[in-house]
A and B are shown apart, each in its own frame.
Chain A
């Protein structure tokens, strides 16, 4: 306790300038980002609810591609049947499953639970699976969903509404954590998803900065997909296809009230593997495939795209990269006192995170957020330090080894042929 009082004494004794230096990392890399979102989200009115009938103007197809999802596909289909706006068509593709998933599909097809069942003997990867579903689906709105997801009753109704605007090519759904109770790691991610997806994308929507219609749960206008040729080979296809839709001039929407639940990794190792994959794919796509976005002389250059590239560069890459230097500096300058300073910074972060989290919770009323509040302090440590180091490691890995080309999520035959 004495450490804490000492730290507070120390902090209050500082001049404004030295306080700024001390808290630079927080101020630059945390406050503007989330406080900005906070303000944006506050300013953005909640989307108006439209009548249920209006959603029937479109033919809605659900496309579901999965590998070895025998056990989860039934529950997933059942939760779709429970929707207030059930889909008009369900297309399921079993991508080279070896667990007998196609038998389940056959039963579902015979029972009339699904409309198209396709399967292959050889695995082709997520993009190819998405593409054949897109090819076979007959709806003008395609909802892409992972087999292990489950849905809020109004999810489909709400995700279809933004397509009223003919400029909208895709709408991201609000993905939240289902297994928040299964340990600290999952609980931390539950808070993270609340803030970065519910609040983050809601804020981003206000300034047309929704960059990723996540592969877990999102909707696409079929004609928009066809205009970009669907998914390309390789990982991070959801980010890739969204960026290509944006490049084609399609608007990307987000519905905070279209909630989909998914299980997140509940071990640290699992989480690290997942984030390595995400960040590596993001880096590869942004700074290799979509590099033209940052080239002012490229005809496809748009200021709108520069914005999110900058945001990513500063808040993800730079914030992670500067972390070790900051810590070294802090300990070199203040010695053991650095711990207390870091502790103090955490208190500040919690104070910021609190209203941010509450706003996120307010935005997604159906998600039970309040049991997460006691974990807020832990979250600040998790997000401010742990995840930054994880990201840093991932960037380093991709930069040096181009590991995304060996990703086990993409079959070897696809790796072999891919050039970029």
Chain B
């Protein structure tokens, strides 16, 4: 055991005691998940903020010992959060700030605010380095702010990846310390993906989960843009893609051809020359689509949400493919098992996020569920398929009517009743129908039963009691698409719940004031959010400039309509309208009028969606 690892171990133990409460502000679901996982196992109480506003709110409300901040957030930058925090914090609230950034130069250009951070880690950073640094912080080396400059300057300088000498494998830290040969395996990846960051099966993600190298990469904020299956794998083997962050939204490139339509690219089926181009295009496509998935959905732990996002990113229906290879008879084009798909689609369909369409009806063995059945014509009595069909003969003269064999007399037909020979078809006799005789039990009938014999387990089932189940394909509904793009605000249960974290900061302040007035003097107000469910279509149809202009014009129109009583703020996904002295019911009652006023003289139809919240809904 090296001295290095000894110090870091003891330091880490101390860190969990001193740096009890940690806030991680990070928008990458993968980094979030893995940081939380690692730090929690080290005894820290880990909280997650998905964006800058949420981080600010949490920092102001509860004391944290350490704040680990991604510097590039979708709303506020790390610098803005810190600046706002120092303006409003209580004096005794003094967390240690650490920044993570993929762009250290931009960080250095932020001026004085950067002084608030004790250290900056350049993404992708070495995770052990972070842990070690947390250790030094815990041992009391918490320097005064002035002294921090040199410190972070050193950290920002792109330091060569530090691979500490191999520690003893028995320590708790082992899996994050990394052994040289694992690092080697990380580097000795199959080639051919020079422009990409592939996650390899089974090198990076194996049957037991993620490799050390992969964890390190992700924990330090590194991301992947595709999954490459380089050795035969089953769907179950890729289970881990669905349990960490939004890795399930990466394209799966199957080099083996074993996954079939469950992979996004079945490489053996693609002409060699075009593979590179196709993969690149797909990676690009997926990355763009992922960017349109609302952060809430990307961060969701719910497998149903993940499946929905997967359909969205892959822009395809959930389609069954029929094959006799499995007893089930079909599989869906997603890297989940069929029973998982059935359960998840049931839930999603109930919420009307997807809609199903009938594809086929399968008959299954009631004993083993296999659809590999032999369909047979059988005897109604004994279920033997050993049947023989013969004609019925009617002898007009004596009215005898019976199966052909009753009349067979060598090559002649002789009536068994009246012993006359039947000579003239249509005059002496005719054949009015058929009778099927069972050679096993002698029963006869004009018809046969249908029976099924399972080829897998041998169980026999009558045609009328065979179990059937219908196979559907599933497509995203408009609601499902809106949910992916706009998050939980769309779905039923959370329709009217508004997250304050989503609101622009000055609007939160205005809202607080309005709330105070409401409690003191019962002066009504309402907050209206304006969503744009058709945004993606509009963007592609009219271009971002016209959409942006129209949206601004819509705000102007409302401002003119309501006058001074209204505060309007434009957010990323939503616009917000705080109307003084108007109850939510009143707004709802006249919503059509307001909609018309808002959209007057607009060049394009924005199809805005208004959601109205009164004080009760906001604070009750």
Q: Report which A residues bind B (CB closer than 8 A).
A: 96, 102, 105-106, 109-111, 115-125, 127-132, 135-136, 229-234, 237, 413-414, 416-418
Contacts and interface: CB of A to CB of B under 8 A. Distances in A.
Nearest to A94: B446
A414 B399 contact: yes
B398 A233 contact: yes
16 contacts: A96-B432, A109-B380, A110-B464, A122-B432, A124-B394, A124-B399, A124-B432, A128-B394, A132-B401, A135-B402, A135-B403, A229-B398, A230-B400, A232-B399, A237-B399, A418-B396
Interface in B439-482: 443-447, 449, 463-464
A136 B400 contact: no
Contacts of A413: 396, 426, 430
Given A96-B432, A106-B447, A417-B428, A118 B398 contact: no
Contacts of A234: 399
Contacts of A131: 399-402, 417
A106 B394 CA distance: 22
Contact of A128 (B399, B428, B447, B464): B399
Interface in B522-578: none
Contacts of A121: 432-433
Nearest to B426: A413
B399 A231 contact: yes
B606 interface: no
Interface string B398-425: 1111110010000000000110000000
Contacts of B418: 229
Contacts of B428: 417
Nearest to A136: B444
Contacts of B443: 115-116
Contacts of A232: 398-399
A90 B443 CA distance: 13
Nearest to B442: A138
A233 B420 CA distance: 14
Contact of A102 (B394, B399, B446): B446
B392 interface: yes
Q: Is the interface of B mostly helix, strand, loop or mixed?
A: loop
The 7 A-B pairs of least Cβ separation, nearest first, read A120-B432, A120-B433, A127-B399, A122-B432, A132-B401, A233-B399, A128-B401
Nearest to B424: A417
A230 B447 contact: no
A119 B417 contact: no
Interface in B347-374: none
A124 B418 CA distance: 17
A337 B214 CA distance: 126
Contacts of A111: 464
B344 interface: no
B418 to A, nearest CB: 7
A336 B426 CA distance: 61
A307 B399 CA distance: 29
Contacts of B398: 229, 232-233
Given A131-B400, A417-B397, A110 B446 contact: no
B430 A122 contact: yes
Nearest to A132: B401
Given A119-B433, A119-B446, A231-B399, 4 more contacts: A120-B446, A128-B401, A131-B417, A416-B427
B399 A125 contact: yes
B435 interface: yes
Contacts of A120: 392, 394, 432-433, 446
A234 to B, nearest CB: 8
A110 B466 CA distance: 13
A124 B107 CA distance: 100
A358 to B, nearest CB: 42
Contact of B392 (A102, A132, A416): A132
Contacts of A106: 447
B247 to A, nearest CB: 52
Contacts of A136: 402, 435, 444
A285 B380 CA distance: 41
Contact of B433 (A109, A116, A122, A237): A122
Contacts of A118: 392, 433, 435, 444-446
A117 B430 CA distance: 20
B419 to A, nearest CB: 10
